[in-house]
Amino acid sequence: MIAVIGQSVVDRIKVPGKPWVERLGGAPVFAAQALTAAGADAIILTRGATPELRRPLHACGLPVIEGPSTCSCVSEMELYPDGTRTDAFVEFGQPFTPADVHGWMSPGLRNASAIVCGAQWADDFPAETLAALAGLGRPIYLDGQGPLRVGRPGPIALRGPLAPDVLQAITVLKLAEEEAAAALGSTDPGPARALGIPVVAVTLAERGAVIVTGTQAAHVGVEPVLGLADTVGAGDAFLALMAAACAGGASPVEGAGGACAGVATLLRRRLDGAGTPNGTAPEAAGESPSRARWSRRRPPDLSGSSGRRHA
């Protein structure tokens, strides 16, 4: 069983020509949708948002444990027809703590074979919380976007490198391409291997992913999904699907291959209108099908080289 931990985020979404809408975001809902579609055994541990917004999470059919919270993470995104987007934090939620791990999370973690941490911002999963999770003896999968994101309201910005005490607890680290540049200085296998983490997965949007282990760096391809503006949550789905596959005996490369294929399937369902996020996601009209997209963001570009960013 896979345990997915993450904030239930209040996502405020805007597409050209349509009003702002509010929907559920964050790793729990997108991971749950992907795991349900894959028939994987999983449990979701979350806090934040409201009972009304969390309804799509419960609709996935997986068991959900909701912890107490005094505040919620709120994000604002403007999605554009070419697949880019702007991203900003409005508010931050209540971080996960070691007391949470040994308290309300404990029943959900007891039978977990792997733990997926869908981090949102720098203080979402402090090092001591990751250490407490690692102390349970399960593989820890961490979305590297969280510890790299500057913990202040406003446009999302990345700041590297990753702290050594964060890295010590991690079995698998997922980085998007621009996150790898911030954390490692490049997307080359050498710096990723130098982190000392057993597996580093760098997602490359329509180009698939690169899996770096102590002995190999392998590219995993994917069949592109064309013409989709709203690809929010693709990274969350990828990490959860990879964890489920590896828990079932797949190698990291095999797990990433299955995850890439699973994400592409979900995005095709969105494109066809059968699987829009939460059933309410607005779709931008007039997308150009000339490029495949998982998730891209508009500037600010922190790498200094490109105005397009992948999640």
Q: What would the pLDDT profile of 3-49 be if each residue is shown by its tens digit? A: 999 999 999 999 888 899 999 999 999 999 999 999 999 999 999 99
The C-alpha atoms of residue 283 and residue 232 are separated, in whole angstroms, by 12
- pLDDT above 70 for 56: yes
Q: Provide the residue range defining the domain that includes 260.
A: 2-310
pLDDT score for 288: 28
Number of domains in the chain: 1
For residue 116, what is the domain's CATH number? 3.40.1190.20
Q: Indicate the burial class of 267 (C-beta count within 10 angstroms; 0-12, 13-18, 19 or more).
A: buried
Kindly report whether the global pTM for this prediction surpasses the value 0.75: yes
* Angle at alpha carbon of residue 117, lines to 116 and 121, rounded to 5°: 160
228-272 pLDDT, tens digit per residue, is 778 788 999 999 999 999 999 999 999 999 999 999 998 888 877
The C-alpha atoms of residue 193 and residue 200 are separated, in whole angstroms, by 8
Residue 20 CB coordination number (10 Å): 12
- pLDDT above 70 for 196: yes
pLDDT score for 194: 92
* Angle at alpha carbon of residue 81, lines to 93 and 74, rounded to 5°: 10
